[in-house]
Amino acid sequence: MDTRRIAPAGDGIHAAGEQAAQDRLLEAAEAALAWFDRFDQHAPSDMHFGGEGRVRKQLRTAIRRARVEAEDREWADAADTDEAEALDDLRGSLGHMPTDRERAAFLGGFREARAAHSR
């Protein structure tokens, strides 16, 4: 009888594996969309098979959703909603997702300021 434990769905190993799979799917969707763009640049107009527009739209929608979900996961290091909101403000002022270094420096300063204010 096999007595090895099967990891439950909510454990970290499973979640990390799921995340890796989602990352690979995002990369594949981005590559497919880039392929369609290159194809359009070089293929004669009679080479189109129809339905490309619908497929492109589906890919763009899926990529946009995956990026938003990835950004939402980025705030996992925020201790509370105030920190998450402050990180959203930072993202808006930077115009891009903060790097790990920017996020760590910002959260360090945010927490220091909060601690100084509460004294």
Give residue 2's pLDDT: 44
Most confident option among 56-65, 71-80, 95-104: 56-65
Return the pLDDT at 80. Answer: 76
Nearest Cα to Cα of residue 90 among 73, 70, 75: 75
Answer yes or no: is pLDDT of 1 > 60.
no
What is the secondary structure of 20-65 as a DSSP string? Answer: HHHHHHHHHHHHHHHHHHHHHHHS-GGG--S-HHHHHHHHHHHHHH
3-class secondary-structure state, position 79:
coil
Domain-wise residue ranges, the chain: 12-42+50-77, 78-119
pLDDT digits (tens, 9 = 90+) for 14-43: 556 777 888 888 899 889 989 988 887 887
CA 4 to chain centre: 34
The three-state secondary structure class of 119 is coil
44-67 average pLDDT score: 81
Query: d(Cα 59, Cα 26) in Å, to the nearest integer?
Result: 9
Q: What percent of the chain has pLDDT over 70?
A: 77
